[in-house]
Amino acid sequence: DIQRGKIIHNLIASETKNDIYVSSTLIHMYVHCGDMASAQSLLDSTKTKTPSMYGIMMKGNDSFKDKHKQSHGS
């Protein structure tokens, strides 16, 4: 549930910038819930980015594009 995830994120916001595991998990949660804007914002604010974070974002973007194509018949 995206609302619960956002509440948790707000509660631990100060921890996310320096914790790769927490940042990756939150990015994954946002992508899984289809909130690519929040996922991108979190990635941008994360001090230490990892290849897995970029991979999560790439998969999310691909999934979003596929859903967009299906809904628009392209």
Assess if residue 72 is contained within a domain.
no
Assess if residue 66 is contained within a domain.
no
Give 19 or 11, the one with higher predicted confidence: 19
Tokens of 62: 């691909």
Considering its fold, how many domains does the chain have in total? 1
Q: Where are the alpha helices (DSSP H) in 33-73?
A: 36-45, 51-72
Residue 16 pLDDT: 63
Nearest to 30 by CA among 51, 15, 47, 16: 16
Residue 71 pLDDT: 66
Assess if residue 62 is contained within a domain.
no
Q: Which domain holds residue 15?
A: 1-51
* Residue showing tokens 């914790």: 19
Assess if residue 19 is contained within a domain.
yes
The pLDDT tens digits for 18-73 are: 789 989 999 999 999 999 999 999 999 998 999 999 999 999 988 776 665 666 66
Residue 42 pLDDT: 92
Q: Which sign, positive or negative, has the C-alpha torsion 15, 62, 5, 25?
A: negative
Residue 12 pLDDT: 77
Residue 57 pLDDT: 96
